[in-house]
């Protein structure tokens, strides 16, 4: 069959616009329903926001390189730059961090339009080359099979880009299948490489799709072209992840050699019981998927029947066979680490395979001019059924007033910029929760973002129930310090059981019994969204008088022990390690400082006797060409406490003062902690005047 390029008529244009417009409308309605990313889709949207911000600011580095997900990061960076054109009142970094939802929505709507355009072009391009309206409409249905895929179509995550990539691959295979060449041409090979590269660099679950064109392309010359183009395009798309390439390598190793989801579980390649359970869930969870799988398998077996071979298109058969092989490999990968959204790309593949199966018979009515409109209407009916299937599985909130949005409205009206403590959970009614989550995946730029976030959200604090930690954007902080700042503090908790974490509740009760808190009441609840907001009224005068200094320690690097191996604190009560690294080259005060480098990265280690709930403030002056410095607190097992961080609070004559605060959790069972300074850069760094203050913890009182 020769390509006959012809512009579609008005009636055909209307039909080819149908599914793209429905897809676009559904995605915009979904976005209107949940609206805020931080209430439901903060993971991974906010992580991609920060990685996109890295690129938009001209910096490389990807804290989520395990996907690796770089096409998403590049796209988000482009949308940030585009969205900033209409803003500009603040510097780019501050504008994004103060209004993250604006930029995420810019990216989300961009993703919708990208896939809408892909659906439209796949149909119109195929029709203009083949004049096959039926298949041109059918190929537009590829993204409609997966209910989960439609649900996530407007979310800033990897899956919408996988759907886009497979849509592009399906189009190129269709152009080859209905063309007159025995193998895809150079132009089609280039496009196959482009879409395969987008998939490969978006998520490793798509790796088997790389093999699909290799089964179809004939001749080693063309196969090598495809491999070369794919490698080169992938190399370009992966540029943002190069500084953190070790993350991808480690992530891949963990997935490959651990049995559990996300690399958890025991060592081993596969858990047979879990794998079989996942496969069973895949095939019993969606009978439409199973039916299509059986249909493809049946098509492959039909060719083996006597007298049938000559009625089956060889091109179609090769494509369907290659799609089936790819699906089987993906089933093995997904069965090992199964989550429902991992199937989104496989749904697109199985839809592609089914379409080539139905058109695989040389005398099929799908290719008959007599039945052209009947077959096209049949495809439209199938599309309507798929859309109805989605609408039955997903119910929009009445008037798009999602329960999550009700809490946000209350928070914006009554809390605003007031002081708040957000209990770590699986989402929040505060955008700060999404920002903190995303910041933790911002690679080497994390320190810079911490400072800006602290500046714009100074009254936001967090509580981690598992670690029993209160912290702000930069370091741990005492609950006494938090509550002493403002008379009213809001405590947000997302919980299906309307309970506050036990340790947090006990601590608040202690403070109330001690007269530090006047009232602690549930102010707002939204059981449908699992949102609970408490109002704490503090006695700030009593809180500001509460703490007593237990110890104040200073190591100025001037005094050393008789053996020359340790520093001695100014009060001679503590010793600090690595005195042999003392240097007179630079000093903030006095004559000496301690020098750390790649061979000696750990300096000024000191052991302190502490009690549970003690509060520790530390600071040190550093002189370095980079920011690869952490003040670290750890302990001996069995507590397994580890916390590290640094933030600049002052600068003077080339020196910078950094600090880090630590809380000793109530679960602490030991007697000592170990504090030290860690330089993990590639040059050297000088430290001076290491100051440590230990404040006495809250006394234990009987509970009500």
Condensed to tens digits (0 to 9), the pLDDT of residues 599-649 reads 999 999 999 998 887 889 899 999 988 888 899 988 866 556 788 877 777
Residue 700 reports pLDDT greater than 70: no
Residues 512 and 617 both lie in one domain: no
Residues 6+ apart with CB under 8 A from 686: 583, 585, 586, 587, 593, 594, 595, 596, 622, 623, 624
Q: Which residues of 528-544 are buried (b: 16+ CB within 10 A; e: fewer)?
A: ebbbbbbbbebbeebbe
User: Of the candidates 346, 371, 393, which is a domain's last residue?
Assistant: 393
Residue 304: inside a domain: yes
Query: Which helix (H) or strand (E) element contains residue 318?
Result: helix 314-336
Angstrom distance (rounded) from CA 173 to CA 163 = 15
Kindly give the pairing relationship between strand 566-568 and strand 575-577: antiparallel
Kindly state whether residues 361 and 458 are assigned to the same domain. Answer: no
**Least confident stretch, 70-74, 154-158, 302-306:** 302-306
Of 528, 544, 560, the residue that ends a domain is 544
**Residues 107-113, mean pLDDT to the nearest whole number:** 97
Residue 577 within a domain = yes
Q: Are 469 and 570 members of one domain?
A: no
Q: How confident is the model at residue 1 (pLDDT cuts 50, 70, 90)?
A: very low
Q: Does 333 share its domain with 455?
A: no
Does 2 map to a domain? no
Q: Are residues 183 and 212 in the same domain?
A: yes
Band of the pLDDT at 265, cuts 50, 70, 90? low
302 in a domain, yes or no? Answer: yes
Number of domains in the chain: 3
Question: What element of type H or E holds 524?
Answer: strand 517-526
My answer on whether 365 and 473 are in the same domain is no
Confidence at residue 365, expressed as pLDDT on a 0 to 100 scale: 45
**In terms of Cα–Cα distance, which of 250, 154, 234, 167 is closest to 197?**
234
Contacts of residue 312, Cβ cutoff 8 Å, sequence gap at least 6: 302, 303, 360, 361, 362
Statement: residue 483 has pLDDT above 70 = yes
Decide if 704 is inside a domain. Answer: no
* Region of poorest pLDDT, from 45-49, 98-102, 215-219, 363-367: 363-367
For residue 168, what are the CA distances in angstroms to 120, 123, 196, 346, 379? 11, 11, 9, 15, 20
Q: Judge if 471 and 606 occupy the same domain.
A: no
What is residue 434's predicted lDDT score, i.e. its pLDDT?
95
One domain for residues 318 and 408: no
CATH number of the domain to which 683 belongs: 2.60.120.260
pLDDT at 363 over 60: no
What mean pLDDT do residues 230-243 have?
94
Provide the residue range defining the domain that includes 686.
Answer: 549-695
204 in the same domain as 344: yes
Paired with 687 in beta bridges are 594, 622
Judge if 188 and 136 occupy the same domain.
yes
Instruction: Write down the mean pLDDT value for the chain.
Output: 88
Do both 532 and 587 map to the same domain?
no
Structure-model confidence comparison of residues 80 and 66, the more confident one: 80
| 583 domain-assigned | yes
Q: Of 312, 429, 407, whose CA–CA distance to 362 is shortest?
A: 312
Q: Which tops the pLDDT comparison, 572 or 79?
A: 79
pTM of structure: 0.85
Reply yes or no on whether the pLDDT at 675 is more than 80.
Answer: yes
Kindly report the CA angle at 362 between 356 and 366, in degrees rounded to 5? 60
Residue 42 lies in a domain: yes
Q: What is the mean pLDDT of residues 114-121?
A: 97
Q: Which of 544, 577, 604 is the last residue of a domain?
A: 544
What are the contacts of 258-267 at 24+ separation with CB within 8 A?
A: 259/336, 260/337, 261/337, 261/338, 261/339, 262/337
pLDDT at 5: 52
* Judgement on whether residues 593 and 529 belong to the same structural domain of the protein: no
Does residue 360 fall inside a structural domain? Answer: yes
């Amino acid at each position: 069959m020769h390509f006959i390029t012809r512009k579609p008529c008005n009636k055909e244009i209307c039909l080819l616009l149908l599914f793209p417009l429905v897809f676009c409308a559904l995605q915009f309605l979904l976005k209107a329903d949940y609206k805020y990313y931080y209430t439901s889709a903060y993971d991974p949207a906010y992580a991609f926001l920060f990685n996109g911000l890295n690129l938009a600011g001209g910096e490389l580095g990807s804290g989520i390189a395990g996907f690796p997900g770089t096409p998403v990061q590049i796209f988000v960076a482009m949308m940030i730059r585009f969205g900033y054109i209409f803003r500009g009142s603040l510097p780019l970094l501050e504008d994004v961090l103060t209004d993250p939802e604006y930029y995420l929505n810019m990216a989300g709507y961009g993703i919708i339009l990208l896939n809408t355009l892909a659906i439209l072009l796949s149909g119109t391009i195929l029709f203009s080359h083949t004049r096959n309206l039926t298949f041109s409409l059918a190929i537009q249905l590829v993204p409609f099979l997966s209910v989960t895929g439609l649900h996530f179509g407007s979310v800033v995550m990897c899956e919408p880009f996988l759907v886009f990539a497979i849509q592009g691959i399906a189009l190129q295979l269709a152009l080859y299948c209905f063309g007159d060449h025995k193998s895809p041409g150079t132009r089609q090979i280039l496009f196959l490489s482009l879409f395969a590269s987008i998939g490969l660099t978006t998520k490793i679950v798509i790796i088997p799709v790389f093999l699909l064109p290799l089964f179809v392309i004939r001749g080693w010359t063309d196969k090598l072209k495809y491999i070369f183009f794919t490698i080169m395009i992938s190399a370009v798309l992966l540029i943002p992840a190069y500084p953190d390439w070790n993350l991808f390598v480690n992530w891949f190793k963990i997935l490959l050699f651990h049995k559990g989801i996300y690399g958890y579980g025991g060592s081993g390649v596969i858990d047979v019981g879990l794998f079989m359970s996942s496969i069973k869930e895949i095939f019993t969870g969606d009978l439409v998927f199973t039916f299509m799988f059986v249909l493809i398998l049946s098509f492959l077996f039909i060719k083996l029947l006597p007298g049938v071979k000559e009625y089956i298109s060889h091109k179609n058969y090769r494509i369907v066979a290659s799609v089936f092989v790819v699906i089987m490999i993906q089933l093995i990968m997904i069965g090992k680490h199964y989550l429902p959204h991992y199937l989104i790309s496989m749904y697109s593949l199985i839809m592609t395979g089914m379409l080539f199966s139905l058109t695989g018979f040389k005398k099929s009515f799908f290719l008959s001019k007599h039945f052209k409109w009947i077959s096209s209407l049949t495809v439209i009916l199938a599309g309507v059924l798929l859309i109805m299937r989605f609408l039955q599985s997903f119910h929009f909130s009445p008037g798009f007033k999602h329960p999550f949005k009700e809490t946000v409205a209350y928070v914006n009206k009554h809390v605003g910029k007031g002081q708040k403590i957000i209990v770590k959970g699986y989402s929040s009614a505060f955008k700060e929760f999404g920002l903190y989550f995303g910041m933790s995946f911002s690679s080497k730029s994390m320190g810079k973002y911490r400072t800006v976030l602290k500046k714009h959200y100074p009254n936001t604090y967090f509580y981690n129930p598992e670690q029993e930690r209160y912290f702000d954007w930069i370091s741990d902080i005492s609950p006494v310090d938090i509550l002493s700042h403002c008379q009213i503090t809001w405590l947000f908790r997302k919980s299906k059981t309307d309970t506050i974490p036990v340790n947090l509740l006990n601590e608040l009760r202690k403070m109330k019994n001690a007269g530090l808190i006047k009232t602690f009441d549930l102010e707002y609840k939204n059981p449908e969204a699992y949102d609970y907001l408490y109002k704490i009224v503090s006695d700030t005068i009593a809180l500001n008088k509460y703490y007593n200094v237990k110890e104040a320690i200073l190591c100025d690097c001037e005094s050393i022990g008789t053996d020359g191996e340790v520093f001695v604190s100014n009060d001679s009560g503590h010793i600090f390690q690595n005195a042999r690294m003392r240097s007179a080259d630079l000093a903030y005060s006095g004559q000496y400082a301690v020098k750390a480098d790649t061979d000696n990265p750990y300096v000024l280690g000191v052991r302190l006797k502490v009690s549970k709930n003690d509060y520790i403030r530390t600071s040190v002056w550093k002189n370095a060409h980079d920011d690869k410095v952490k003040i670290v607190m750890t302990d001996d097992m069995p507590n397994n406490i580890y916390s590290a961080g640094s933030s600049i609070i002052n600068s003077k004559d080339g020196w910078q003062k950094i600090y880090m605060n630590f809380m000793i959790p109530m679960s602490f069972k030991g007697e000592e902690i170990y504090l030290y300074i860690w330089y993990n850069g590639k040059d050297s760094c000088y430290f001076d005047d290491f100051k440590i203050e230990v404040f006495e913890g809250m006394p234990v009182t009987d509970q009500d």
